Amino acid sequence: MLDQVVKTEVMSLSPLLWVGGWLVIGWGSAIAQLLPPASDDVKLRVVQQELDEDAAGRMPKAHGEALAKQLKVDPSLVESLRASKQGWGEIAIRLAMAQELTKADSKNYPTVVEATRRVSDLRAQKMGWGVVGKQLGLELGPVVSEVQRARQEMRAEAKRAATEGVVTPGQALDRSQTERTSQSDRTDKTQRPRGTEKSQRP
């Protein structure tokens, strides 16, 4: 009897729960549309964290070389930033911003090294990326795009490198057959009767 009462109550409430669920979803979508899009400063902080997470488990030297390759800078520049205890995401953003600075103000910052030094000086003053961009007269949009592109390329390369050692089913079959043949040859040699010793002369 109690079970029947419970079932009846649940059945009577289910339409309300269903409608309530759709209202929550609908309001969630409406609120999400009303919220302003994430600023470029926020996007940079997100990709900075993602780059730090991507580096987990990778050899620092290989990761540094991959980052230098994607950002088209000398690996020694990446190494010097790492030596100053900078995270991978921080390094990537500094280099991407420095490249934008050389394009925007090549007279004062003719090289990426000099531009990187300027960006690093501002970061040392605890300035956020948005403030650094304003100080340098740079839009953060191109920096965001470049860092995101570099991250995607590095992830793709890491995935390719990880799958290089994977054996395909065909290769596994060939290897198995080769191992069986080799084992069979060894067995034949051990079971082959030894030649009779030459009889000694009286």
Mean pLDDT, to the nearest integer, of 38-50? Answer: 92
Residue 157, Cβ neighbours under 10 Å: how many? 14
Q: Is the pLDDT of residue 6 over 50?
A: no
pLDDT of residue 53: 93
pTM of the predicted model, to two decimals?
0.65
At which residue do the structure tokens 């900075």 appear? Answer: 48
Is a pLDDT exceeding 80 seen at residue 25? Answer: no
Mean predicted confidence (pLDDT) in 49-78: 92
pLDDT of residue 150: 95
pLDDT at site 56: 87
Give the pLDDT score at 95.
Answer: 97
Position with higher pLDDT, 38 vs 86: 86
Do the beta carbons of residue 136 and residue 96 sit within 8 Å? no
Q: Identify whether the C-beta of residue 50 lies closer than 8 Å to the C-beta of residue 57.
A: no
CB atoms within 10 A of CB 56: 8
Average pLDDT of the chain?
A: 78
- What would the pLDDT profile of 113-130 be if each residue is shown by its tens digit? 999 999 999 999 999 999
SS3 state of residue 39: coil
Q: How many helices (H) and strands (E) does the chain have?
A: 9, 0
Residue 73 has pLDDT above 70, yes or no: yes
**Distance (Å, whole) CA 153 – CA 7:** 55
What distance in Å separates the CA atoms of residue 200 and residue 177, rounded to the nearest whole number?
45
Q: Look at residue 58 in the predicted model and tell me its pLDDT.
A: 85
SS3 of residue 78 by DSSP: helix
Domain ranges for the chain, please list them.
Answer: 40-163
Length of the chain: 202
Residue 13 vs residue 103, higher pLDDT: 103
Euclidean distance between CA atoms 140 and 133, whole angstroms: 6
The answer to whether residue 190 scores a pLDDT higher than 50 is yes
Q: Considering only CA atoms, which of 164, 140, 158, 136 is closest in space to residue 70?
A: 158
What digits encode the pLDDT tens for the residues 138-187? 999 999 999 999 999 999 988 887 787 654 455 544 555 555 555 555 55
pLDDT of res. 173: 47
Tokens of 120: 């690093």
Nearest to 88 by CA among 151, 133, 139, 142: 151
Task: Indicate whether 136 pLDDT > 50.
Answer: yes
SS3 85: coil
| CB contact at 8 A, 138 and 100 | yes
Q: State percent of the chain over pLDDT 70.
A: 63
